[in-house]
Amino acid sequence: MPSLCLATLGTRGMSEIAEKKPAKPVVLTCAQPTGRLHLGNYLGAVLNWGRMQDDYDCYFGIVDQHAITVPHVPAQLRDNTYSCLAQYVACGLDPARSHLFAQSHVIGHTELAWILGCLCPLGQLERMTQFKDKAKKQQSVDAGLLFYPVLMAADILLYNAELVPVGDDQRQHLELARDLAEKFNHRYSETFKVPSPFISKVGSRIMSLQDPTAKMSKSDPNQSSTVYVTDRPEEIRKKLMSAVTDSGSEVRPGDDKPGVTNLLAILSACTGRDVPTLTAEFAGKGYGDFKKAVADAVVATLDPVRLRYDELIKDREALNAIFKAGAEKAQATAFRTLSKVNRKVGFVERPR
């Protein structure tokens, strides 16, 4: 290989070398456009994704192709996809620093999924816990539901993501993505980085306001258990003031106080103050004062998010522009991976 002679480079070449920074590790997070984000999603996940944007090359995919693996209403899917984007941006995911895109806008996810599917034993897919759970709830099961984890592997490997923030329910799927990356590399030569789960050092597990032994969830039938990022201040206050607390009146964390422990975790995450400090501050005060402080802190945290969301959701043009920019960047990466993969598999190069 010819060595690079600095003397022969003009000033442009010199400045390009000076500016070339080491590539940041790629992080990919995908979420289905299933509706509204709640306080647990925000404090436990999205807030951390926002904090990663300076240190990592972040791809945030809204995976609409996954959303059709279960029965859905098309108009609702479209609305939810816009709403999901608006919520992400309102929560701090920044289209100027990261790539926010819809999966169906990028050619490559399904193409790579097909190739990976041809390396994936059927039995491994049939053993997936989430497939078994979802299949049980349906009268007839489509192949798409079985193939879902292969599509997820393609989502990750298409961008050569090194780190993938995953909740517990997705760990098995990430394992499959790792297996498929290794299998492809072994069969065709080194191509994919083997992705690792990204475990955040900070991030709270937020529990239901009505049953603090269960995780806060959008599917909770009792909707006063769940605060949404788009809730109005009155709704937030109502839900927090009626949150279940524990016997006694002391504000402190403990196994015997799951309700208070959860509210302390929420207050701590919203104010950035640690639980021992907050416990000392509320010594001698009752649950009423404490809950009011939690409600104030949650309103202060979520109000800017809701205001930004209300603005964005009305502006389809702005949302389409974000999708367009995200898809262009994602597509460039996806095409690079796909052409490499196609060549290694033995496909004839597409005539130009």
Residues forming the active site: 134, 215, 218
Which residues contact ligand AMP by CB under 6 A? 31, 40-41, 44-45, 167, 205-206, 215-216
Tokens of residue 255, six digits = 């196994």
To ligand AMP, the closest distance from the beta carbon of 13 in angstroms equals 44
Cβ proximity to ligand AMP, 225 vs 245, nearer residue: 225
- Please identify the residue of the shown chain whose CB is closest to the bound ligand AMP: 44
Rounded Cα distance, 285 and 264, in Å: 14
Cβ proximity to ligand AMP, 31 vs 115, nearer residue: 31
Separation of first and last alpha carbons in the chain: 28
Cβ proximity to ligand AMP, 91 vs 338, nearer residue: 91
Report how far apart, in Å, the C-alpha atoms of 330 and of each of 50, 159, 175, 206, 304 are: 18, 8, 23, 32, 29
To ligand AMP, the closest distance from the beta carbon of 217 in angstroms equals 6
To ligand AMP, the closest distance from the beta carbon of 170 in angstroms equals 8
Residue 62: enclosing H or E segment and its boundaries?
Answer: strand 57-62
Q: Single out the residue of 148, 138, 122 nearest to residue 67, CA to CA.
A: 148
Cα atoms in the 13 Å half-sphere on the side-chain side of 146: 14
Q: Single out the residue of 66, 39, 59 nearest to residue 165, CA to CA.
A: 59
To ligand AMP, the closest distance from the beta carbon of 37 in angstroms equals 8
What is the torsional sign of CA 324, 327, 331, 333?
positive
Close Cβ partners of 302 (under 8 Å, ≥ 6 residues apart): 39, 42, 227, 229, 231, 236
Cβ proximity to ligand AMP, 77 vs 325, nearer residue: 77
Q: Single out the residue of 153, 73, 64 nearest to residue 104, CA to CA.
A: 64
Q: Which residue has the tokens 């964005």?
A: 312
Cβ proximity to ligand AMP, 225 vs 333, nearer residue: 225
To ligand AMP, the closest distance from the beta carbon of 45 in angstroms equals 4
